[in-house]
Chains A and B, each alone.
Chain A
Amino acid sequence: MEELILELKKEIIEVLNLEEITPEDIDTDAPLFGEGLGLDSIDALELMMLMQKNYGIKVDNSEKGKEIFKSIRVMAEFISNNRTK
């Protein structure tokens, strides 16, 4: 799981172009939206694309998305349980 968490952090930094942020700067359990990284709705779309492209998981329900994108750890657990890639 720790390996997946690190991989996910690197992918998020790349896809969201989070300049000057390293994987170590991202709190695994902090909220991704609002507080923490302070992401917004467009970032949510980018994360949905990332999930689909890299892990074969289609997130098409916004309520479900809110749950999945709660934190890096929650995301990693969901990916681990549902990935097809």
Chain B
Amino acid sequence: MVAMTLLVYSQKFNNMEIFIQSAAQISIQNPLCEDWFENPIIPTLPYNRSIEPDYKQFISPIASRRMGKLIKRAIATSLSALKQAEIQELDAIITGTGLGCVENTEKFLSAMVKEGEEFLQPTFFMQSTHNTISSQVALFLKCNGYNCTYSHRGTSFESALSDAFIQMKLGKIKNALVSGQDEMTPDYFNMLGKIGYWKNEISTDILRNSNTNGSFAGECSAAITLATEPKEQSLCKLQDIELLYKPSKERMQQAITNLMEQANISSIDAIMLGLSGDKKNDDIYKEFAQTFFADKPICWYKNIFGESFTAPSFGVYTAATCLKRGIVPQHLCYNGQNIQDIRTILVYNHFQNKDHSLILLSKC
């Protein structure tokens, strides 16, 4: 009986196609648009906050008064992505966040230190948890479907994406809103600075040729919609996703081979890596590229979006946008010239060389 169920699942699993229908971002680039594709803002400072859009077009001032910055960003990117995808009935909201609403957490804890436990404001308490983001988006959209939050530090977004992918492959949901959400408060930035997370000076050349550890901070709100039926506006096909923990070279090779075989893809056009100028991390990416894709173009995205726990969501977002447009612009090419007529991209991310993820995307 179990074997039969697995067989049925396996058959369903193989046949269902999944498409990234739309995507929207609020980051250190101009928000809710794709200006970054042609005219990116090149960061020069180690600490960068997101550029905020006018939230009044999404949320009334009365409704937004209790929302922290991250919640507003999450709602704005979610609404924007859903509108582009023309999804009316949403089956699932799945969020990845490394820190959750850390700004409100700080306010709540600071008040506790300053005032004791007697005068704690309920709003900061309610909105200091990680799953507030997903639940606030659901309340706003009046979505009673599946709602889940993954808080797995540097692989939070991939975990959320993997959940959506598996549920869609099993036929449990037909569409999903998946997002990566993280904010960087001054205090948290300073704390990470003390353990060597940031460089003092930032430029593309410094990041590309770095021999030192540390990168620069960004903030992340990237929402994508997934669906099992393609539309004209679909960005790309999400072929497969694999999460690995401390894989050996053989295990990584096997995972790459399996992804390509499952997708019936014989060659990858480019790899999208989380290169950030942090030597310790970048060495892992360079070794990955050298070992498995020595002759392939390397793309990067953290040079314009910065580092955060859910920055890999920008990797998927930029790769999907590049596939839709069929080109990788020069500023996203880590080595070589811009890439034309691109059809497949493998997004690879690792967190502290422990958690690794492979996400295979192809043109629709």
Contact = CB atoms under 8 A, between A and B. Distances in A.
16 contacts: A16-B65, A17-B65, A17-B66, A18-B61, A18-B62, A19-B61, A19-B64, A21-B61, A42-B66, A42-B122, A42-B126, A46-B121, A46-B122, A46-B123, A49-B120, A53-B119
Contacts of B65: 16-19
A30 interface: no
Given A52-B118, A52-B119, 19 more contacts: A15-B121, A16-B65, A18-B61, A18-B62, A19-B61, A19-B64, A19-B65, A42-B66, A42-B122, A42-B123, A42-B126, A45-B122, A46-B121, A46-B122, A46-B123, A49-B119, A49-B120, A49-B121, A53-B115
Nearest to A15: B121
Interface string B96-129: 0000000000000000000100111111001000
Contacts of A46: 121-123
A34 interface: no
A38 B63 CA distance: 10
Interface of B: 61-62, 64-66, 115, 118-123, 126
Contacts, number: 29
Contacts of B115: 53
Contacts of A17: 65-66
A20 interface: yes
Interface in A31-85: 38, 42, 45-46, 49, 52-53
Contacts of A15: 121
Q: Which 9 A-B pairs have the closest CB atoms?
A: A17-B65, A45-B122, A53-B119, A19-B61, A20-B61, A49-B119, A42-B122, A18-B65, A49-B121
Nearest to A19: B61
A16 B64 CA distance: 11
A58 to B, nearest CB: 9
B114 to A, nearest CB: 11
Nearest to A38: B62
Of B118, B121, B126, most A-chain CB atoms within 10 Å: B121
B126 to A, nearest CB: 7
